[in-house]
Structure 1
Amino acid sequence: MAPLGPAERVFVSETFLGSVHGQLACTTCHGGNSNTPLTKEAKAAAHAATADFVALPSEQFDVYCSACHSDITTKFETSLHYTQNGFYERFKIRAGGMDLRTDANMKAGFDADCAKCHAACGQCHVIRPVSVNSGLEQAHQFYRTPSLVNNCTACHGSRVGEEFRGLHRGEEGYENVKEADVHYNKGMNCMACHPADEMHGDGNLYPYRYVENESFVAQCTDCHPDVLDTNTENLYHTTHVQGNTTLQCQICHSQTYKSCNGCHVGEGITGSSYPTFKIGKNYLKNTSSFRTTDFALVRHIPIAPDTYHNWNGSISLTTFDNAPTWKYTTPHNIQRWTFLTDTSGTAWCGQTCHDSHDEILLKRSDVDSTYLDDELRANEPVFTD
């Protein structure tokens, strides 16, 4: 995304000054010294005070936001958006239980290389996220609903944003991508499926982004309950949703999506992303109360046994193979008619799906890695052969 210009980054509108938050003095949230002339030369003095200047007050939301929004902040402090607990817990699984928060070198490396995606209140409701160079999004006005492009997919753009908006159309390998996600084409934004309660958290500290709380996590059947109707006239739903072998909805209704290669901290991703569409065994089935289908789409993630070695010179993921590198995924590129469901010109869906097993089922031969043995062991619960 194009960065905001220098003036756009800092301009405060008169509209903000008349708002509820604009009634507060600048120093109430930002500190600094208001008794300085409005000149370029006085900038340093204005930003200095007995209390340090606070550029991002909502990073301390318990101080600056909780007085009016305690119903949200008390839950947000344990949310995945704020704590990034999913990263820490995934790391522990692959590192033999080591908690990188207890090792000073590891924590410093994480903060420098990975923590930029951490979000506080302001990065969704006032500014563009820090990870995309920040800047005031609406001239310091506070907005209730984050912008799909300038807030949500500014952080979640590489996969979710590109797929949701259909940006891969016409690219090599994405020939099956015909449209943007049907929900995007109908004008729906992220909040339609991921409301504030989910983003702010429910007070629980979850170990993973696939939160185990059926009550506030978006599910296809929330809006499409008819697929669970035992009297449905749709033979495909009866067979694949209610039959002996069940499929995740995205298997039939997603288009080609992106996977990545190994990522080495300090060196970047070793290789470019590439288009995939792979069905694997659902290794979450026995650990989830509602992700219980037998098969699901999987996406390769950029992790390798020596990913973090440069943080302290020797760290390696000693239990790397305790978690798959082809992970359960929920692509945001939904269409009713996809290259698997469109049976026009064919006798039955078997000609586009069941007869294409070699291409769309994840098998051991799909693993081509510098760390082949590690990856083969890691993905044992996912392989279909």
Structure 2
Amino acid sequence: MADPAIRLLNLLSLLQTPREWPGTELAGRLGVSGRTVRRDIDRLRELGYPVEAARGQGGGYRLVAGTAMPPLLLDDEESVAIAVGLRTAAAHPVDGIGEASARALAKLEHILPSRLRHRVASLGAATEPLTTAAEPGVDPAVLAALATAAAARERVRFTHTGGTGTETRRHTEPHRIIAAGRRWYLIAYDLDRGDWRTFRADRVTAPHPTGQRAEPRDVPGGDAAAYFKDTMYSRAPTHRAEVTLHLPADRAAARLGAAPADVRPLDGGRCLLTTGADTLGWLAARLLMLGCDFHVHTPPELITHLRALAARATAAATRPGGAPPGGPGGDGAAREDAECRNQR
């Protein structure tokens, strides 16, 4: 193998397989002498690749974890697998990966050979994720374009469909992408409106980077996640609740997924939960699913809602099997349906 650069890349590809490689086997794979292998190992170390060597008859070389992420060589199958995994992550947001997964997808798809891009696209077209109507999908290509623009500080034009179905063309400076629940949101500065805006990524289509640099700006307060939380809470009525749970604080926090500040330990294996939601129904369901006794301090509307739920549950449990609510005429069913609608 005459070309040293090609030989070095092939050596690196072999070492990135998680195993220990005897020097004689590396030399045979590369068609060079053991001395050349040792010299190439030294060159990889100079480039920042931490290659360890074990002496003795059973020793060899292996690539170990270092202090930085060096360039990674992938074969065709590995590249396709990672691209499909990143697309899946983009369609189903996972806490902690957020914008990074979209940026990684954009980088990988940019350098994939056309034959591999076709395979990734075919897999994406043939795969249907199991979602509900309440979980709108987001195009990974849109997400990748927005994340790349945010990282590169580049202005982007796109079409946004509002909650009423009205389409508007936006000229923005993307700042951050937030994964919240099962949705992705873009925080961007809207140049035409002269203010910050939050866009649902699944309602964004046809993003087009303009090539113009974005101005250096900070979201109000300087924290994109805090800004997103504040703006989202301000758009919907929020019910704040204070509840004593007959459950240790650590177990309550684990079941609720609540932040440590939301759960305060009390004596007797109890804790005080402070939480909120945009509907009383969700608050009630969250408390009932804990499977423990609890006492609601505020709000009084939640206490009323829980009493109504208890009455319906008691009626359902004592009603003869198959009998409609309220007797043969079914008038009770209509009344209960009306009550449910009023609660919503």
TM bucket, shorter chain: under 0.3
TM-score normalised per structure 2: 0.23
Q: Which has the higher contact order (CA 8 A, sep 6+)?
A: 1
- Looking at secondary structure, tell me which structure has more helix per residue: 2
Which of the two has higher C-alpha Rg? 2
TM-score normalised per structure 1: 0.21
